[in-house]
C-alpha cells in the first residue's frame, strides 16, 4: 500500500514538474521568439522533403525485399539491390499511371499509402537489415576511419547542396526541367520542344514522383540518396570479396573524383546509373559462383535499367555479355547461350517501356536518334549527331590516362575530373594473382571485363561523335573500375620488402587524393553557402541570384513579363526557372535550324509568331563563345542574318552583360 502511494506521488510530482517546465518554456518562447515563421518554414520544408525521399526509398526497399525474398542477416549489398529494384518498379508505375490517368496527387498518395500498408512488414525488415552499418565505424582501423570521416564530410556537404535550389547546368536544361514540365502539364506526355524528352527517363520519372509531393529540391535529394546507396553497396561488396581495406579503397577511388562528388547534389542521372551498374556487377559475380538462372536474369534486368537511365550506360550491358562469354569454356556452349538469352531478354524487358513511349509519340523507338522523327527533322538531327571528333584517334589508345590527367570539370573534351585513384590503383590488380582464392579471382575478372569493355566502347564511341568523349556518359561502369582499383590497393598492401610497407605508402597517397577532393568540396560548399537557406537567413531567390548571376536575373525578367507572354531563348539551354513561360535552346541549334528552314528574317519571325512567342531572350555570351570557338555548323551568313534580325526588332532590355530580352513584333515588320 505504501509503495503504491509512493508511486502515485512520484507520478503526480513528475507531471507537475514537466507541466511547469513546459509553461515556463512557452512563456519564454512567446517573449523571446527563438524561431520566427520565416525560419520555421524553410526548415519544415527541408524536413518534409527528407521525409518524402525517405518514404519513397523505404517503400522501394520493402518492395524489393519481398520480390527478392530478403532475409535477416543479409549483406548490405543485397539490401541496396532490393531498393534499386523497387525504385525501378516505382519509376515504371509512375510512367504508366502518369501517361494514362495523369499525375494526380491524390491518386499517387493513396496508391503509395496502400502499398506501404501492404508492405509494412517487408519495409520494417528492410530497415532492420541496415543495422549492419553500425559495424563500419566500430570495426574500422585508423585508415578506414580516415576514409569514412572524409566520406562523411563529402556526403554532408553535398546533402545540404542537394537541399538547396538546383544550380547544375544539365539539371536546369532537362533533368529537372522535364519533370517540372510534366507536373505543370498534369501528365507524362510528349514534349516536342525538348529533344531530351526522348532519352531514357527512368530517373526523370522518379524525380517527377518526389517533386509531386515535396517540390523541386527533392529530386536532387533522391539522386543523393541513390548515390549513398551506391557507395554502401560498393563498400560492402569490395569488403566481402576482397577484404576491409579493399572496401575503403573502393569508395575512396570514387570519392576522390571531383566531378563524381559534385554530381551527388546536382540532380543529374549519373549516380542512379552507377547504382544499377553496381547492382549488375553484384548479380554477375553471384552468377559466376552459383550459376543460378535468377542471378543472370537479375543481372540482365539491372543492365537494362542502367540503359533505361542513359543510352551510353549501355556499356554495362556489353560488359555483362563479355562476362558471360568468358565462361563459355567452363559452362559449355549450350549453358552459355542460355545465359546470354536470359540476360538479353531481361535487359530488353527493362528498356521496353521507354522504347514504347517514344514509338507511340513519334514513331521512332529511339527518338531523337537514328532518323528524323517527331520534332527532330533532318537539320536538327544533323546538328546533334554530326559533332566534330575530339582530337586524334591515337589519343584513344591511352584513353584512361587522357581522361584522368587531362579531364577537367567544365572544360571541353572529357569535361570531368575523376581523380587519380581509379587509374593509379586498377592497373595493379594483377599483382599476387596466384595467391588469391578463386572467389577473389572471379570478382576481379568480372570487374576487369566490365571495365575494359566499357573503356573500349568509350574509345570507339568517341570516334563516332565528339559529344561521346565526355567522361560522365560512362559513369555507370565506374563501380566496376572502383572494385578493380580496390583489388589493386589490396595487392599493393600485400607487398613488403626490405622493411618497406608499400601498403602504408599507397594508403598515404590515397588519403592525400581523398583529402584534396574533400577540401575542394568543402570550399565549394562554403562558396555556395546553402546552409543559410535552412534557417531562412537567405531566401531561395537570393541563393540563386548569388550563384547564377546574370542567368537568374534573365529568368526573373522573363517571369516578370505579362502572364500571356511566351519567350524563346537563343543560345541559352536552361529553361527550368522560367517554365512554362519559355522554351530553351536545348542543344544550341535553334538558330542553325530556323535560318536554314526559312529563307529570310521575316519568315523566321512569322514562324515564331505562329508558335506563340512574344519575346526573345538572346544569350550574348553564349553566342559569342560559339562564334569564337569556330563552330563548323555556323557560317558567316548565319551571323549576318542574326544581326539583321536584331536590327529588325525593337530595342531590348539589357540584362547584365550577358543577355538581351527583345519584344517580338505582333506582325511582320
Other beta carbons less than 10 A from residue 27's beta carbon: 10
- The tens digit of pLDDT for each residue in 534-589 reads 888 889 999 999 999 999 999 999 999 999 999 999 999 999 999 999 999 988 88
- The tens digit of pLDDT for each residue in 176-211 reads 999 999 999 999 999 988 889 999 999 999 999 999
* Residue 554, C-alpha cell as written in the block: 534573365
**Full strand arrangement of the beta sheet holding 567-570:** 582-583, 567-570, 615-619, 659-663, 653-655
Spatial contact of 167 and 84, defined as CB atoms under 8 Å apart? no
Q: How far apart are CA 77 and CA 141, in angstroms?
A: 22
| pLDDT above 90 as % of the chain | 67
Q: What predicted TM-score, i.e. pTM, was given to this entire model?
A: 0.92
Mean pLDDT lowest among 308-312, 405-409, 575-579: 405-409
- The tens digit of pLDDT for each residue in 219-268 reads 999 999 999 999 999 999 999 999 999 999 999 999 999 999 999 999 99
Q: How far apart are CA 40 and CA 553, in angstroms?
A: 27
Spatial contact of 206 and 226, defined as CB atoms under 8 Å apart? no
Q: Is the pLDDT of residue 59 over 90?
A: yes
Q: Is the pLDDT of residue 395 over 90?
A: no
**DSSP secondary structure string, 508-530?**
HHHHHHHHHHHHHHHHHHHHH-G
First CA to last CA distance, the chain: 101
Task: Examine residue 322 and say whether the peptide bond preceding it is cis (omega within 30 degrees of 0).
Answer: no
pLDDT at 43: 87
pLDDT at 246: 93
Q: 138 or 119: whose pLDDT is higher? A: 119
- The tens digit of pLDDT for each residue in 345-380 reads 999 999 999 999 999 999 999 999 888 898 888 888
Q: Is the pLDDT of residue 88 over 60?
A: yes
| pLDDT above 70 as % of the chain | 96
- The tens digit of pLDDT for each residue in 320-346 reads 999 999 988 888 889 999 999 999 999
- The tens digit of pLDDT for each residue in 469-513 reads 999 999 999 999 999 999 999 999 887 766 667 778 888 899 999
Q: Please give the mean pLDDT across all residues of the chain.
A: 90
**DSSP secondary structure string, 436-481?**
S-HHHHHHHHHHHHHHHHHHHHHHHHHTT-GGGG-GGGGGGGHHHH
| Cα torsion 76, 78, 79, 84: sign | positive
Amino acid at each position: 500500500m505504501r509503495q503504491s502511494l509512493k508511486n502515485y506521488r512520484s507520478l503526480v510530482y513528475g507531471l507537475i514538474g514537466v507541466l511547469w517546465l513546459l509553461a515556463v518554456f512557452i512563456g519564454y518562447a512567446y517573449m523571446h521568439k527563438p524561431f520566427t515563421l520565416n525560419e520555421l518554414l524553410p526548415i519544415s520544408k527541408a524536413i518534409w522533403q527528407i521525409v518524402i525521399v525517405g518514404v519513397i526509398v523505404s517503400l522501394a526497399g520493402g518492395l524489393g525485399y519481398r520480390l527478392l525474398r530478403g532475409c535477416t542477416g543479409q549483406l548490405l549489398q543485397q539490401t541496396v539491390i532490393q531498393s534499386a529494384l523497387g525504385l525501378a518498379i516505382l519509376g515504371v508505375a509512375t510512367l504508366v499511371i502518369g501517361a494514362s490517368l495523369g499525375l494526380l496527387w491524390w491518386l499517387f498518395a493513396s496508391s503509395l499509402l496502400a502499398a506501404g500498408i501492404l508492405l509494412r512488414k517487408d519495409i520494417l525488415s528492410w530497415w532492420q537489415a541496415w543495422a549492419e552499418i553500425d559495424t563500419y565505424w566500430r570495426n574500422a582501423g585508423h585508415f578506414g576511419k580516415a576514409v569514412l570521416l572524409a566520406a562523411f564530410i563529402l556526403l554532408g556537404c553535398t546533402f545540404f547542396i542537394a537541399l538547396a535550389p538546383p544550380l547544375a547546368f544539365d539539371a536546369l536544361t532537362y533533368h529537372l526541367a522535364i519533370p517540372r514540365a510534366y507536373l505543370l502539364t498534369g501528365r507524362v506526355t510528349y514534349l516536342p520542344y525538348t529533344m531530351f524528352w526522348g532519352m531514357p527517363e527512368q530517373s526523370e520519372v522518379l524525380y517527377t514522383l518526389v517533386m509531386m509531393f515535396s517540390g523541386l529540391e527533392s529530386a536532387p535529394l533522391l539522386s543523393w540518396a541513390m548515390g549513398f546507396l551506391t557507395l554502401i553497396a560498393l563498400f560492402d561488396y569490395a569488403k566481402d570479396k576482397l577484404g576491409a581495406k579493399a572496401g575503403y579503397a573502393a569508395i575512396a577511388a570514387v570519392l576522390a573524383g571531383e566531378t563524381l562528388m559534385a554530381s551527388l547534389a546536382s540532380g543529374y542521372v549519373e549516380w542512379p546509373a552507377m547504382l544499377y551498374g553496381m547492382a549488375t556487377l553484384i548479380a554477375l559475380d553471384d552468377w559466376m559462383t552459383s550459376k543460378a538462372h535468377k542471378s543472370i536474369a537479375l543481372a540482365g534486368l539491372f543492365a537494362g535499367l542502367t540503359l533505361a537511365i542513359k543510352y551510353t550506360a549501355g556499356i554495362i550491358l556489353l560488359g555483362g555479355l563479355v562476362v558471360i562469354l568468358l565462361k563459355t569454356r567452363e559452362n559449355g556452349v549450350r549453358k552459355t547461350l542460355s545465359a546470354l538469352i536470359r540476360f538479353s531478354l531481361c535487359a530488353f524487358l527493362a528498356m521496353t517501356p521507354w522504347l514504347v513511349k517514344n514509338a507511340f509519340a513519334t514513331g521512332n523507338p529511339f527518338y531523337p536518334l537514328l532518323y528524323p522523327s517527331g520534332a527532330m527533322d533532318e537539320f536538327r538531327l544533323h546538328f546533334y549527331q554530326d559533332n566534330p571528333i575530339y582530337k586524334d584517334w591515337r589519343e584513344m589508345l591511352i584513353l584512361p590516362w587522357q581522361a584522368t590527367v587531362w579531364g577537367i570539370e567544365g572544360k571541353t573534351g572529357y569535361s570531368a575530373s575523376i581523380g587519380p585513384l581509379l587509374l593509379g590503383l586498377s592497373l595493379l590488380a594483377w599483382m599476387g594473382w596466384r595467391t588469391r582464392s578463386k572467389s577473389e579471382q572471379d570478382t576481379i575478372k568480372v570487374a576487369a571485363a566490365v571495365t575494359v569493355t566499357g573503356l573500349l566502347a568509350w574509345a570507339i564511341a568517341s570516334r563516332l561523335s565528339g559529344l561521346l568523349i565526355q567522361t560522365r556518359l560512362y559513369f555507370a561502369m565506374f563501380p566496376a573500375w572502383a572494385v578493380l582499383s580496390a583489388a589493386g590497393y589490396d595487392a599493393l598492401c600485400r607487398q613488403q620488402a626490405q622493411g618497406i610497407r608499400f601498403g602504408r605508402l599507397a594508403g598515404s597517397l590515397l588519403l592525400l587524393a581523398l583529402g584534396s577532393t574533400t577540401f575542394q568540396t568543402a570550399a565549394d560548399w562554403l562558396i555556395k553557402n546553402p546552409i543559410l537557406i535552412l534557417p531562412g537567413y537567405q531566401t531561395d531567390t537570393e541563393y540563386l541570384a548569388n550563384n547564377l548571376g546574370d542567368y537568374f536575373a534573365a529568368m526573373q525578367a522573363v517571369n516578370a513579363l505579362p502572364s500571356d507572354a511566351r519567350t524563346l531563348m537563343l543560345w541559352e539551354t536552361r529553361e527550368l526557372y522560367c517554365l512554362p513561360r519559355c522554351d530553351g535552346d536545348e542543344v544550341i541549334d535553334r538558330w542553325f535550324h530556323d535560318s536554314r528552314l526559312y529563307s529570310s528574317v521575316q519568315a523566321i519571325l512569322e514562324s515564331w509568331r505562329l508558335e506563340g512567342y512574344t519575346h526573345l531572350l538572346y544569350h550574348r555570351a553564349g553566342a559569342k563563345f560559339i562564334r569564337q570557338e569556330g563552330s563548323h555548323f555556323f557560317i558567316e551568313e548565319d551571323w549576318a542574318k542574326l544581326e539583321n534580325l536584331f536590327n529588325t526588332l525593337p530595342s531590348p532590355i539589357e540584362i547584365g552583360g550577358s543577355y538581351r530580352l527583345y519584344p517580338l513584333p505582333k506582325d511582320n515588320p
